[in-house]
Chains A and B, each alone.
Chain A
Amino acid sequence: MRRLVPFIVLVVAVASLNGWLDQRFHVRVLTLAVVWALAGVAWNLMAKAGQISLGHSAFVGIGAYGFTILLRGGGTSPWIGMAIGMGVAAVVALVIGLPTFRLRGFYFTLATISFPLIMELLVSHYGDPELTVPYHPESEWRFMEFSDPHTYVWVGLGMLVVALVISELIDVTSFGYALRAIRDNEVLARAVGIRTVAWKSAAFMISAALSAAMAVLWVKAVLRVTVAEEVFGITVVIVMLSVAFVGGVGQTWGPVVGAAFLIPLAMFLDDSIGESVPGAQELVYAAALVLVALLIPRGILPAIERGCRWVATRPGRSGEPGGRGFLGRLAVPPQQPSPFLRMSRRRVRPRLPRPSDAPVLEVEGIAKSFGANRVLSDVAFRIDAGRRVGIIGPNGAGKTTLFNIITAHLRADAGRILFKGMKVDRMRAPRRYELGMSRTFQVPQGFHLMSPLDNVVVAAIGASIPHPVAASMAMLERVGLADSALGELSALTTAEIKSLELARAMVSEPELLLLDEPLAGLNEAERARFFTTVDELVTPQTAIVVIEHSVRSLIQYVESVVALDEGRVVVQGPPADVVSDPRVIKAYLGSRWMEHARDQ
């Protein structure tokens, strides 16, 4: 119901404006507002995954040129041209996206700039820099040739509503969870089974298709002629960025709010002073971008939301939280997981069984260098089902690097990894997680824009657990975090963050659990409790590898220890033997203290 209200508001507002306005210029402003809202919604799909694209004019250009060429060539209906353009744009998005998504942060944004520039140059030079759209008055609907300009607004409104429904559907399903996880912490997302490239590609393809659809409406209703410089131009991207960032980047309704503000402002300014001030429209977008960047980088909608939440949670006069009132009711309730997710019963990919004679993990001859710096050489160890192995070594010995190689966050230079008897060297992180490998991090990682519950839900989705929300809630109860499940991540203590990491790692029911310095930052009592909690969560078959500096706590818990020094296995075996081995003492203390240690 809550999600229906904005749709009703939008339709009522546009419909009444469309009925009321009759000056040609006003209808044109309304049309453009709808067109750019649609463009912004399309662009924003990528922003949901935190990807800022400056290349969307490539898809707008494909849509515009596609339908124009088909209409000129064979008199194809623009509707069919639109469908074909959307398909082509989606395929181009896939081709562009696959290599580009490997790039993080700035590199992605930089790479996207060049695609429309290349296309514009090629189209202008080898094709036509300008194509007129032939006039077909014989059939209004078939050729999208409406004599009444109001009809374009109806068509645009219909397309906008479809785009918004798509965007909402993405938000409430595991698709949206995956995109938000990627935006928040891509490394962690991959560690909990989110196939980042696949999800980003899907979002990019839908986004591209919607951009191409928007182009047909834009050309038919407003431009009337397809100009390469315009449809492939940077201004298209600027307007998309402006409406999306002003309203709320990554938010489904953000571009609608942004377009409702900016487009009329820019158009009326252009109309009144455009004669003497030629760049007035662009200045509106530019000023909006600068102001948003400095004042409300996430946009208007999140700013309003935060304001409402502040009003709602502000202590009232009686000291009770919640200034009830109108704003209080408007305030967004704590982030509940999507109810749609609760209903979804995803097919669980059957996890490949482990042959009874194979160890859970077998690592052989692993070597890794960063430049000239050799971090690991010829590391080998194995762990059987239900066993616990500790890894110790001084700082810089290569312990975390070894974990990163086991979970595919880094690629080894040499050696091989067998998981449940399978060679997994070529598998990426999400696949290894699906097969039953879970980890925690030395520096605890989290999705900071999500509730603790959603942090675990993402991991459950990544492992295709059938009832992700119920399973995640149960896991939080078992680690004692049920009360803070819907709070803010930043409100958790170090011990609670560690428990959350454990819950996130355990929700996939892993066969191999890798714990990287789980006791760091915990006090005596919390340390004593930690491994007890682990034992309550695991099955007798779970193999556990622990990196830990607190050797005393570690040797009470594990059955064997691997000691690393300068990237080599110095010694491995039962804990008591390893910690008394002179080579281990030397690695930790240096030879100068050897005599001293022997005396004790």
Chain B
Amino acid sequence: MVEFLQFLVPGILIGGVYALLASGLGLIFGVMRVVNFAQADFMMLAMYLSWALFAGGVGLDPFLAVPAVFFVFLLLGMAVHWLFIRFVIGRRENHDAQVILTIGLGLIFQNLILIKYSSEPRVVAPSYANSGDFIADIFVSRVRLYAFLLSVLVAALVFLFLNRSATGRAIRAASENWEAATYMGVDIDRTNRIAFGVGVALTAVGGSALVTFQSITPFVGLRFVVVMFAAVVLGGLGSVRGAFVGGVLIGIIQSVSQVWTSAAVKNVWVFALFLLILYVRPNGLFGKAQRAI
């Protein structure tokens, strides 16, 4: 039992971070129906930013760097939307263009970082990186706990933003029915830009929560991209709350599967679950059915 819990607890903790990563992807899909294949590469960029702030002389603790990361990536996301994404939004013919555009952007990010920083893995190790506490016989890593708490805090703030602020309501209205939202005077281009910025920033914050226990390479995003999609699909494409629940579930499955199989194949379970959900409940565990015609 203790052994099981020893897998379950870290699973929940890492799941909280996955949830934050996925909620950014879910927000973007929900508002503008764009599946952003570059999302995990924004996460990778944020990890490098955290690393640069920590290792590059400033010595800024990655958890304290979170506000800076958030605002940098909010602006970066809005810029990428303005420069690229807005041209491929909307019509159904644009579906293919969205796929290749975001894949292409992600590749560009990876290779620019590869050119600048090489493929050598980077680590961010603050003084408390290897410490932890025993809570009722279960060892809890301190950095993972902080990462989880940070994710929950940021998720709560986003929830407040989406529900209480005028912009947040406009974003939710657009994700519900963008055509109706335009009739109500919502500026869709602006809403999309902000949503893309916030979505990217959320994933970026998730990335900086990861750096204390995940080494950084230009291609680290590949390991997370399907995890993020799985979480989003599990919770129902386009639902931020669903993406959050999905993320926690994925973390638990990934971790608990190690009771039975090697850690090397833990993602096989995630991918298999992802497929199962796609086949059985393509609208996610909490998603709504759509009309056929």
When C-beta atoms are compared, the residue in chain B nearest to A445 turns out to be B293
Which of A110, A122, A238 meets B229, CB within 8 Å?
Answer: A110
Which of B99, B271, B293 meets A114, CB within 8 Å?
Answer: B271
A430 to chain B, nearest CB (A): 15
When C-beta atoms are compared, the residue in chain A nearest to B87 turns out to be A294
Tell me which of A101-109, A317-325, A500-508 binds B: A101-109
Q: Does B265 contact A (CB under 8 A)?
A: yes
Q: Does A35 contact B (CB under 8 A)?
A: no
Which of A110, A125, A285 meets B262, CB within 8 Å?
Answer: A125
Of residues 60 through 110 on chain B, the ones whose CB sits less than 8 Å from some CB of chain A are 84, 87-88, 93-101, 103-108, 110
Bound CA–CA A425/B280 (angstroms): 21
**B100, B106, B267: which has the most chain A beta carbons within 10 Å?**
B100
Tell me which of A6-14, A276-284, A386-394, A462-470 binds B: A276-284
When C-beta atoms are compared, the residue in chain B nearest to A235 turns out to be B107
* Residues B278 and A125 in contact, CB atoms below 8 Å apart: no
When C-beta atoms are compared, the residue in chain A nearest to B222 turns out to be A234
Which of A103, A113, A238 meets B282, CB within 8 Å?
Answer: A103
Contact flag A125-B292 (CB < 8 Å), given A118-B271, A278-B118 = no
* Residues B103 and A238 in contact, CB atoms below 8 Å apart: yes
Bound CA–CA A114/B226 (angstroms): 7
Q: Does B35 contact A (CB under 8 A)?
A: yes
Q: Does B275 contact A (CB under 8 A)?
A: yes
Q: Does B135 contact A (CB under 8 A)?
A: no
Q: Chain A interface residue count: which class? A: 35 or more
Of residues 271 through 302 on chain A, the ones whose CB sits less than 8 Å from some CB of chain B are 277-280, 282-283, 285-290, 292-294, 297
* Residues A114 and B289 in contact, CB atoms below 8 Å apart: no
* Residues A103 and B264 in contact, CB atoms below 8 Å apart: no
Which of A106, A118, A293, A404 meets B97, CB within 8 Å?
Answer: A293
Which of A113, A238, A285 meets B226, CB within 8 Å?
Answer: A113
* Residues B115 and A114 in contact, CB atoms below 8 Å apart: no
* Residues A121 and B100 in contact, CB atoms below 8 Å apart: no
* Residues A107 and B282 in contact, CB atoms below 8 Å apart: yes
* Residues B35 and A283 in contact, CB atoms below 8 Å apart: no
Q: Does B237 contact A (CB under 8 A)?
A: yes
A55 to chain B, nearest CB (A): 11
Q: Does A161 contact B (CB under 8 A)?
A: no
Which of A121, A234, A241, A279 meets B264, CB within 8 Å?
Answer: A121
Q: Does B5 contact A (CB under 8 A)?
A: no
Contact with B along A85-127 (1 / 0, CB 8 A): 0000000000000011011011101110110011001101100
* Residues B274 and A114 in contact, CB atoms below 8 Å apart: yes
Contact flag A404-B268 (CB < 8 Å), given A289-B101, A292-B100, A293-B104 = no
- By a CB distance below 8 angstroms, the chain A residues around B99 are 52, 109
Q: Does A370 contact B (CB under 8 A)?
A: yes
Q: Does B164 contact A (CB under 8 A)?
A: no
- By a CB distance below 8 angstroms, the chain B residues around A278 are 111, 114-115, 118-119
- By a CB distance below 8 angstroms, the chain B residues around A106 are 35, 95, 237
Contact with B along A453-481 (1 / 0, CB 8 A): 00000000000000000000000000000
Q: Does A26 contact B (CB under 8 A)?
A: no
Q: Does A249 contact B (CB under 8 A)?
A: yes
Q: Does A245 contact B (CB under 8 A)?
A: yes
* Residues A409 and B292 in contact, CB atoms below 8 Å apart: yes
Q: Does A441 contact B (CB under 8 A)?
A: yes
Q: Does A333 contact B (CB under 8 A)?
A: no
Of residues 211 through 256 on chain B, the ones whose CB sits less than 8 Å from some CB of chain A are 218, 222, 225-226, 229, 233, 237
Which of B93, B96, B104, B264 meets A286, CB within 8 Å?
Answer: B104
Q: Does A187 contact B (CB under 8 A)?
A: yes
- By a CB distance below 8 angstroms, the chain B residues around A99 are 275, 279
Which of A187, A234, A279 meets B115, CB within 8 Å?
Answer: A279
Q: Does A371 contact B (CB under 8 A)?
A: yes
Q: Does A21 contact B (CB under 8 A)?
A: no
* Residues A125 and B107 in contact, CB atoms below 8 Å apart: no
* Residues A286 and B108 in contact, CB atoms below 8 Å apart: yes
Bound CA–CA A195/B271 (angstroms): 29
B139 to chain A, nearest CB (A): 26
Q: Does A414 contact B (CB under 8 A)?
A: no
- By a CB distance below 8 angstroms, the chain A residues around B229 are 110, 113
- By a CB distance below 8 angstroms, the chain B residues around A121 are 264-265, 267-268
- By a CB distance below 8 angstroms, the chain A residues around B233 are 107, 110
Footprint of B on A, CB under 8 Å?
52, 99-100, 102-103, 105-107, 109-111, 113-114, 117-118, 121-122, 124-125, 187, 234, 238, 241, 245, 249, 277-280, 282-283, 285-290, 292-294, 297, 370-371, 400, 404, 409-410, 441
Extra A-B contacts (4), CB below 8 Å, given A109-B99, A293-B97, A441-B293: A52-B95, A107-B282, A113-B229, A409-B292
